[in-house]
Amino acid sequence: MKLKARSYDVDLSEPSVILHDADCVQIGVRENDRVRIEGKDSWIALVDKSDSILKKGEVLIAEIQMEKYGIKDGEVLEVVYSPKPDSVNYIRRKMDGEKLSKDEIRAVVDDILESRLSKIEVSAWLTSLYINGMDLEEIAHFTNAMVDTGDRIQFQRQPVFDFHSVGGVPGNKITPIVVSIVAAAGLMLPKTSSRAISSACGTSDFVETFCNVELSAQQVRDISEEVGGVFAWGGSMNLAPVDDIVIKIEHPLGINPRAQMLASIMSKKLAIGATHLVVDIPTGRGTKVPTLEKAREYVSDFTTLGRMLGMRVECAVTYGDQPVGQAVGPNLEARECIRILEGEKHPSSVIEKACECAGMILEMGGIPNGVDRAREILESGAAHEKFMEIVVAQGGRPDLKSSDLKPGEFSYDIVSTKSGYVHGIDNKAIVSIAKACGAPTDKGAGLLIMKKRGQRVEKGDVLLTVHADTEAKAQRAKETALRLGPVHIEGMLIEKGV
């Protein structure tokens, strides 16, 4: 039917228009159905209904769409029913537990990218993936479809090594150390990282405290080929961009379906042209991978998927049931990371993990005794030298020192109320406290964990120190810490047998 366009000032997360209730009946559409709008251009929008903010005969179109399609206020447009895209049927098929074909998966991915699916439909897709899953053949198609939604980086220099942690453990600041060791050994590792999604501090959140992480694809290529590595933020390139839309729906549901997680990791690696990949799988209570059994499933998933996609993949199943090292939060993690590159021997958990992972990559690159070699490169200062080359190439200061990175000036110590042994540290509580400090936005915000699992604690000992950029946030973090009690202390006795 013919309707008169009226613009309204709203930024939409979905491309929808508002129609009058009575016109909806005439057109034969209901809320969340679709209409095709025909003016100079023809385009599809979701239907919202109202009988109060517009008159019969009008269609409300967001300003941004008016501009995009060259529609003038008051212009008369043909508005007709438009069927659902086919991808809605494929989502239904996944709900019914069926296996999808390559083309069906591609249709869903393309329609998500082009905003042709509503939030309701994408939510149903992710929920179905979470419950019914995909087999590896489907996930391989899914990965390729996601790669094709964005750009690919082509390197002259081959092979291309890569490293990824599936995350879920706080304080995991090993990436710049791994990249520096690998690059110092003469291999190329163009590493892209993310910012925090649900964590307190992603790799890019702490790396940007000492150099620029927003590199173009060209810069990533140039620096990697010349220096051997980068620590770039993946978000500034257009790699498998459909992921960014999906995350917005996953986040409120608190899910990350296995198929989506695997496809999203592997697609970014394919897009950057990786030929060899090591995946770190932190495992244990409070991580994304609670048991060794589950970890082994992921190992099998990643390596098989790698074969299907033409990439050599090895996995490192690592302890993740307590934070890695002492520091959580941007400046604090950067400081701990750089200190180790400068020669500091503590915390050993960070050094061990970085050298184990780097060692696996070296061996994939044909360098024998990888872990020993990684440790030599770190201890000799060669890794630090390479690190500084990368930092400078990414616009960091050539005289960067770990001591440049300052914790927030407002701090509180959390002390133990009893004596005993540290029985466990609750990852999720640590993340909540660091966020209460202001991480990852406030660069000084975060915390230092003074006692790790297995250590003896006396009543009154400092368990952790919170740092914040404002007094109010330090106070809030202290309260969060006292409420959550992230460090669990017990006697040695587990149970009394009588």
Region near its own copies per CB under 8 A, out of 123-131, 162-170, 276-284, 480-488: 123-131
Hey, which residues between 96 and 115 contact its own copies (CB under 8 A)?
97
Q: Which is nearer to its own copies, 199 or 224 (CB)?
A: 199
Contact between 292 and its own copies per CB under 8 A: no
Hey, which residues between 423 and 452 contact its own copies (CB under 8 A)?
435, 441
- State the minimum distance, in angstroms, from the CB of residue 329 to its own copies: 14
Q: Which of 5, 17, 18, 265 binds its own copies (CB under 8 A)?
A: 18
Region near its own copies per CB under 8 A, out of 84-92, 107-115, 364-372, 453-461: 84-92
Region near its own copies per CB under 8 A, out of 118-126, 138-146, 359-367, 387-395: 118-126
Distance from C-alpha of 211 to C-alpha of 392, rounded to nearest angstrom: 8
Contact between 2 and its own copies per CB under 8 A: no
- State the minimum distance, in angstroms, from the CB of residue 126 to its own copies: 8
Contact between 175 and its own copies per CB under 8 A: no
Residue given tokens 């990949």 in the structure block: 277
Q: Which of 87, 118, 224, 394 binds its own copies (CB under 8 A)?
A: 118
Contact between 249 and its own copies per CB under 8 A: yes
Q: Which of 59, 71, 79, 126 binds its own copies (CB under 8 A)?
A: 126
Token duo for residue 448: 């230092």
Contact between 11 and its own copies per CB under 8 A: yes
Distance from C-alpha of 168 to C-alpha of 162, rounded to nearest angstrom: 19
Contact between 470 and its own copies per CB under 8 A: no
Decide if 387 contacts 176 (C-beta within 8 A): yes
- State the minimum distance, in angstroms, from the CB of residue 344 to its own copies: 32
Decide if 189 contacts 183 (C-beta within 8 A): yes
User: 3-class secondary structure for 440-485?
Assistant: CCCCCCEEEECCCCCCEECCCCEEEEEEECCHHHHHHHHHHHHHHC
Contact between 157 and its own copies per CB under 8 A: no
Distance from C-alpha of 231 to C-alpha of 202, rounded to nearest angstrom: 12
- State the minimum distance, in angstroms, from the CB of residue 64 to its own copies: 8
Residue 412 pairs with which residues in a beta bridge? 466
Q: Which is nearer to its own copies, 47 or 377 (CB)?
A: 47
Q: Is the N-terminal amide bond of 85 cis, ω within 30° of 0?
A: no
Contact between 56 and its own copies per CB under 8 A: no
Q: Which helix (H) or strand (E) holds 263?
A: helix 258-271
Contact between 83 and its own copies per CB under 8 A: no
Q: Total number of residues binding its own copies (CB under 8 A)? A: 49
Q: Which is nearer to its own copies, 167 or 190 (CB)?
A: 167
End-to-end CA, the chain: 83
Residues near 293 by beta carbon (within 8 Å), at least 6 away in sequence: none
Contact between 50 and its own copies per CB under 8 A: yes
Largest CA distance in the chain: 87
Could you say which DSSP state residue 289 is in? B
Contact between 63 and its own copies per CB under 8 A: yes
Q: Which is nearer to its own copies, 54 or 295 (CB)?
A: 54
Contact between 200 and its own copies per CB under 8 A: no
* Phi, psi of 412, rounded to the nearest 5 degrees: -135, 145
- State the minimum distance, in angstroms, from the CB of residue 410 to its own copies: 17
Tell me how far CA of residue 218 lies from CA of 145, 187, 235, 329, 452, in angstroms: 23, 19, 14, 30, 42
Contact between 58 and its own copies per CB under 8 A: no
Q: Which of 43, 44, 57, 84 binds its own copies (CB under 8 A)?
A: 84
Q: Which of 31, 41, 86, 479 binds its own copies (CB under 8 A)?
A: 31
Residues near 397 by beta carbon (within 8 Å), at least 6 away in sequence: 210, 391, 404
What one-letter code names the amino acid at 420? G
Contact between 119 and its own copies per CB under 8 A: yes
Hey, which residues between 209 and 248 contact its own copies (CB under 8 A)?
248
Token duo for residue 86: 């086919």
Distance from C-alpha of 406 to C-alpha of 445, rounded to nearest angstrom: 10
Contact between 48 and its own copies per CB under 8 A: yes
Q: Which of 30, 55, 72, 346 binds its own copies (CB under 8 A)?
A: 30
Could you say which DSSP state residue 67 is in? H
Q: Which of 3, 61, 105, 124 binds its own copies (CB under 8 A)?
A: 124
Q: DSSP characters for 152-217?
A: ----SS---EEEEE---STT---HHHHHHHHHHTT--EEEEE---SSSS--HHHHHTTTS-----H
Region near its own copies per CB under 8 A, out of 23-31, 206-214, 217-225, 334-342: 23-31
Q: Which is nearer to its own copies, 120 or 482 (CB)?
A: 120
Residue given tokens 């669990």 in the structure block: 488
Percentages (nearest 5) of helix, strand, coil residues in the chain: 45, 20, 35
Decide if 17 contacts 45 (C-beta within 8 A): yes
Per CB under 8 A, residues contacting its own copies are 8-11, 13, 18, 25-26, 28, 30-33, 48-50, 52-53, 60, 63-64, 84, 88, 91-92, 95, 97, 118-124, 126-128, 130-132, 248-249, 251-255, 435, 441
